[in-house]
Amino acid sequence: MSDLHGYIDLRSDTVTRPTKEMLDAMYQAVVGDDVYGDDPTVRKLQAKVAELMGKEAALFVPTGTFGNQLCVLTHTNRGDEVLLPESNHILQHEVGAASIIAGVQLRTLDSQDGTIHIPELLRKIRENDIHYPRTGLICMENAHSSGRIVSLENMRLTYDVARKHKIPVHLDGARIFNAAIALGVEAKEIAQYADSIMCCISKGLCAPIGSLVLGSEEFIQRALKNRKMMGGGMRQVGYLAAAALVNLEKMIARLGEDHENARYLAHCLEQIPGIRVCQDQLDINMVFFYLDLPRFNVSSVQEFVEKLKTQKILINGPENNQFRLVTHYWINRQDIEKTYKVFASLCGGFVTNFP
């Protein structure tokens, strides 16, 4: 299927553009001014997502980063400490925003896959001591950006501990619908273990822009004011909500295809000498792997990425030496087979049939 310019874009599921049906819905959307609260299409979307997540209320926000940071700000006071796995997006990929916007200190839990080790969590929750910051929030992430899902049991245990200590829990659910498919449950079964959730509609669900924040009515009222302060009051945002309403109907149920395609891509890649696929990171639509560069006749990762680009395949460079490819609505089986052929050809192999 590739993109408008014929590229197979495996950099992320954020590259997904809207379908014609979504564009038609945007064209026909009835909108108002969302800062006045009178955009009927945004209100409809917010009510629908709140229902899907089993929460009282929802709020449209521009991005996942905005939504996470809005929740951190709304839950905490300046100087609070936030506990979260060190590998979580809020800490790794949000430009240190929590220290700037909410003025909080992030304290890490030792976890590469998003699973929280309960004894460590208990150890790190602060006692009431004049020297200590207050533990103001615990953050989880599911699906985790390492391509894994966190078990419902781990979420339940974490939430139980948090409630006992009267600490709120925020869930970065950028890919909560992928997690729900992988766990074989509805999104609300995951969402029940958090007080606030951020979910993205601009990733695997193909909306051009947007995320939502969910929580109690009282939390969302406070978040509404903070959203305005952060510059996130977006006026006729119903045009974006209209696309999102289509993708909730059409896109959630098909996310499993992206997961299958990711597994197929992983299976193809592991046939290639010089590639080691990380089999324990294959729960959703992501494939992680290591590459033995010299076997691909290149001297740097940049050269490897450039060579793929000349063959119309887009990938990102590695992070901590690990490459990541992401499948999505605009990647089909032929694209995966072409990717396999090109990777194989770069290390001198010639593919005639597919595994």
Please give the residue ranges that form the binding site for ligand PLP (CB under 6 A).
14, 63-65, 68, 89, 141, 145, 172, 174, 200, 202, 211
Smallest gap from residue 15 Cβ to ligand PLP (A): 11
Smallest gap from residue 255 Cβ to ligand PLP (A): 15
Smallest gap from residue 90 Cβ to ligand PLP (A): 7
Torsion angles phi and psi, residue 135, rounded to 5: -75, 110
Identity of the residue, 85 or 136, whose beta carbon is nearer to ligand PLP in the bound complex: 85
Length of the chain: 355
Angle between helices 20-28 and 238-250 (to 10 degrees): 140
Q: Is 95 exposed, middle or buried (0-12, 13-18, 19+ CB in 10 A)?
A: exposed
Identity of the residue, 145 or 154, whose beta carbon is nearer to ligand PLP in the bound complex: 145
Cα separation of 5 and 302, whole Å? 21
Identity of the residue, 55 or 170, whose beta carbon is nearer to ligand PLP in the bound complex: 170
* N-to-C CA span, the chain: 21
Q: Which two tokens stand for residue 194?
A: 């958090």
Smallest gap from residue 347 Cβ to ligand PLP (A): 29
Smallest gap from residue 210 Cβ to ligand PLP (A): 8
Cα separation of 5 and 352, whole Å? 26
Q: What is the DSSP letter of 294?
A: G
Identity of the residue, 68 or 226, whose beta carbon is nearer to ligand PLP in the bound complex: 68
Identity of the residue, 64 or 232, whose beta carbon is nearer to ligand PLP in the bound complex: 64
Token pair 């980063």 in the structure block, residue = 65
Cα separation of 271 and 277, whole Å? 10
Q: Which amino acid is at 284?
A: I
- Cis bond before residue 25 (omega within 30° of 0): no
Cα separation of 98 and 158, whole Å? 21
Smallest gap from residue 211 Cβ to ligand PLP (A): 6
Identity of the residue, 167 or 197, whose beta carbon is nearer to ligand PLP in the bound complex: 197
Identity of the residue, 46 or 145, whose beta carbon is nearer to ligand PLP in the bound complex: 145
Identity of the residue, 158 or 202, whose beta carbon is nearer to ligand PLP in the bound complex: 202
Smallest gap from residue 150 Cβ to ligand PLP (A): 12
Cα separation of 179 and 173, whole Å? 8
Smallest gap from residue 175 Cβ to ligand PLP (A): 6
Q: Is residue 135 within 8 Å of 83, Cβ to Cβ?
A: yes
Residues 12-34: b if buried by 16+ CB within 10 A, e if exposed: bbebbebbeebeebbeebebbeb
